[in-house]
Amino acid sequence: MKKAAVTLVLCGALAIVFSAAGFAETLQIGALYPISGSLALLGEESLRGAEIARLERNKAGGIAGREIVFEKADGSTVAAARSEAERLIEQKKVPIIIGSYSSSRCMAASEVAARKEIPYFELGAIANAITGRGYKTMWRTNPTAQDFSKSQVAFITDWLASQMGKQPSEMKVSIAHEDSDYGTSVAESFSTLAKESGIQVVSVEPYSANATDLSSVIFRLRKAEPDIVIAVSYAQDAILMARQAYELKLKAPLMGTGGGHSLQSFADALGAQADGVLNVDFTQYAVNTSFTPGLEEFLALYKATFQENPRSGHSLANYMGASVVFDILGKTGGSMNPEDLRKAAMSLDIPAGTTATGWGVKFDANGQNVRAVPLVTQWRDGKLVTVWPQDAAVMDPILKE
């Protein structure tokens, strides 16, 4: 869509514009992501997905004839996310916010929005508590930490244990996690679900994502002698942990939980050392496309827009989530009234296997999409491929010795 010179007359949340694209009005939506600082890589990648959805919807006529415009905000830190949410609401008068990739940023920003009764749609952060606070103006389109843990436990019990010649009750698992809301929530969820399934959790190792040396964590993991290590990491600490695990001869395979383990930069930095690393994550791009209708079209739009291929599945998850938000706004006729939005959101009933991520959409009473399911992927020759469950897989999983 062409970018045209516009004349703006701000009136609350509605900006009246006259553009060459034929739109007479715009709908402004706050888009809050960490686009600078330590989480910028995946924050920007997430925003790119939402931007593709915005461009696509505007090309199709926008919402009720209005052009969708993002008022962008940089949640570079937790404090910045909180203050940027305040700015978006009080100064920019946005009536709705989407975001935000980081669980800790989302927790802070969405609390501000809830106090001011501003609808907040989370499209990528997974901490369980995000949709566990009883907020009536909070929705999440992506899976939770508990969903990730369910997929990990199912993979261990259904496939990995037998490959190691063990019963699930004989499997010993360690957890190494960065210590923010994201890592802590995943670690707690996995520990609970694993123990309920009879899997032995033999150690839990929290660490700072900003650490420059994880050798002490690796040595403690070696001492625990796990059969597999569940790793919960951002970008740089995922690389550091995998590299030091290899150097210090940690024999247990690693199984990531989204985050840094889904990035192409992880495989590029580690080379052959990345081969065989497992990851439970949002839908990635090497997947059975009959399970993900619209994925190939998204890839084409992404490459045409950004002149490169996506760097992780976070852009796809945010594309799908933003598209759902626009569907909800379409059902309200563009109304941003919280009660209208809630009625429209709760009426959505999209079957699994009908979106580009393969997820369906049905929100529970807390605003959580219960039809978003993570998949198991694995790094193979520098490419992250889907290996489980079978209906989404393009390769069978392997157990690297």
- The model's pLDDT over 48-73, given as tens digits with 9 standing for 90+, comes to 999 999 999 999 999 999 999 999 99
Per-residue model confidence (pLDDT) at position 21:
53
Identify the CATH number of the domain in which residue 107 sits. Answer: 3.40.50.2300
DSSP type of residue 383: E
Do 233 and 267 have their domain in common? yes
Question: Can you tell me whether residue 204 is helix, strand or coil?
Answer: strand
Whether residue 51 lies inside any domain: the answer is yes
| Domain interval for residue 240 | 146-281+376-388
Residue type at 300 in one-letter notation: A
Report the alpha-carbon distance of residue 207 to residue 180 in Å, rounded: 9
- Cα gap 309→284, rounded to integer Å: 12
Residues 160 and 219 in one domain: yes
Q: What is the pLDDT of residues 361-377, one digit of tens each?
A: 999 999 999 999 999 99
d(CA 145, CA 280): 11
What is the enclosing helix (H) or strand (E) of 236?
helix 235-247
Q: Which 3 state secondary structure label does DSSP give 176?
A: strand
pLDDT higher than 60, residue 2 = no
Mind listing the pLDDT tens digit for each residue in 120-138?
999 999 999 999 999 999 9
DSSP 29-74: EEEEE--SSTTHHHHHHHHHHHHHHHHHHHHTTTBTTBEEEEEEEE
**pTM exceeds 0.75, yes or no:** yes
CB 217 within 8 A of CB 178: no
Q: How many whole angstroms separate alpha carbon 4 and alpha carbon 213?
A: 50
Residues 206 and 342 in one domain: no
Number of domains in the chain: 2
pLDDT at 401 over 80: no
CA 173 to CA 199: how far, in whole Å?
Answer: 7
At 205-257, the pLDDT tens digits run: 999 999 999 999 999 999 999 999 999 999 999 999 999 999 999 999 999 99
Residues 87 and 228 in one domain: no
Q: In whole angstroms, give the CA distance from residue 11 to residue 264.
A: 43
Domain for residue 382, yes or no?
yes
